[in-house]
Structure 1
Amino acid sequence: MTTTWVALLRAVNVGGRTVKMERLRELFADVGLVDVRSYIQSGNVFFTDPAGLDRAELGRRIEAHLAEALGWPVPVLLRTVEELAAVVEADPFRGVEVTPDVRLLVAFLTEPPPADLELPARTKRGDVEVIAVTDAEAFAVGRIIDGRPVGKLEPVLGKGWPGQVTARFFHTTVKILAAARKG
């Protein structure tokens, strides 16, 4: 059985680092990946790898090619469709009231969260509250406070945490999974 991968990219189409999805799909194909598709403009790419590389090597190759082609580093967080389905099925947000000022976030991590992270964990400002974690994700409730957008999750993980994070709204994660399954 062929694995369908979901690449969740960080630093694409934010902060002036713009790349059209057609170009992004071409860059993935350049690495030898097939059945390449994308979902919305925030760097979600689906593909299969006929070479059958392991996750670490596959991620390194994609990151190196994107950095060379685009001129900036693009962290690539890979999940299988099954792993993404487990994230959606876990849904630790049950019971969280969504209001216009509340955002439900899934933070995809390259490294496990700190073992001593006590939940719930909040930023000093209180705009991000991590309510659950796995070895590869953190589930956070973001709050817009005084009209200021939700901040970053990294401060909750601590200065010594060595990983990278890319976040998606939970409802977007559900849509990414549905799109990935359509392949």
Structure 2
Amino acid sequence: MTRWIALLRGVNVGGITVRSADLRDLFRELGFANVSTVLASGNVLFDSEDAADDLKPRIERALGERFRYDAWIVLIDRATLERIAAAFPFERADEQFTPYVVFGSDPALLRDLADAAGVPDPAVESVVLGDGALYWRVVKGRTIDSPVGKLLAKGKYRTTTTNRNLRTVEKLLAA
């Protein structure tokens, strides 16, 4: 049995409201065990024997049908999440910067995103491409309007990536 984390993109923003209780119910109806949610930003932990390639489209289809939106998720197993979190290359607690991990379903698009970001102004943000994630730190309050924040909003990346604050990642690991 594998412990999975489904990271939903774009819920509880932009008019798409998905209550945690409803999300847990859906995952239980899909037959998953030990279902829990963390925070109200679309983080679902569950156990399944199924492979990621089978789970991802099944979950996205069910989310879209139940909540009536174009659902995209990044699906990651707990061991991989643990490895990604441990490799975070920046200061974990910083008064000036917010630490993020950008997760992606398509490694080629994560590389493309890192290439598109180039070498950002370190006074505003920094990025490092890791194994399975893009690590990003940005000046607090600049997440949406920073160059990398604007890249993440583009349609090219929107369906395959989602970001989480490092504190959220740590809460997922503690759950």
TM-score (norm 1): 0.79
Q: Deviations over 1:12-60 (max 9, x none)?
A: 11122111111001111122212111111111111112xx321021000
> How large is the Cα RMSD of the aligned pairs?
2.8
Identity of aligned residues (%): 28
Contact 1:121-1:131 at 8 Å conserved across structures: no
Which whole-Å CA distance do the structure 2 matches of 1:178 and 1:121 have between them?
A: 33
Matches within 5 A, 1:31-110: 31-49=30-48, 52-94=49-91, 98-99=94-95, 101-110=96-105
Matches within 5 A, 1:15-26: 15-26=14-25
Contact 2:5-2:78 at 8 Å conserved across structures: yes
The one-letter amino acid of 1:149's match is R
Contact 2:143-2:149 at 8 Å conserved across structures: no
Matches within 5 A, 1:80-159: 80-94=77-91, 98-99=94-95, 101-112=96-107, 113-114=110-111, 117=115, 121-122=119-120, 127-134=124-131, 136-144=132-140, 149-151=142-144, 153=149, 155=151
Runs of 4+ residues deviating >3 angstroms: 118-121, 158-163
Contact 2:35-2:44 at 8 Å conserved across structures: yes
The one-letter amino acid of 1:79's match is I
Gaps of 5+ in 1: none
Larger Rg: 1
The one-letter amino acid of 1:55's match is A
Contact 1:88-1:173 at 8 Å conserved across structures: yes
Which protein is richer in helix relative to its size?
A: 2
TM-score (norm 2): 0.82
Secondary structure at the aligned position of 1:92 is classed as coil
Corresponding pairs, count: 168
Deviation of 1:154 (Å): 6.4
Secondary structure at the aligned position of 1:121 is classed as coil
Deviation of 1:163 (Å): 5.6
Which segment drifts farther, 35-44 or 110-119? Answer: 110-119
Distance 1:92 1:39, change over 3 A: same
Secondary structure at the aligned position of 2:111 is classed as coil
Deviation of 1:137 (Å): 0.7
Contact 2:3-2:45 at 8 Å conserved across structures: yes
What's the counterpart of residue 5 of structure 1? 4
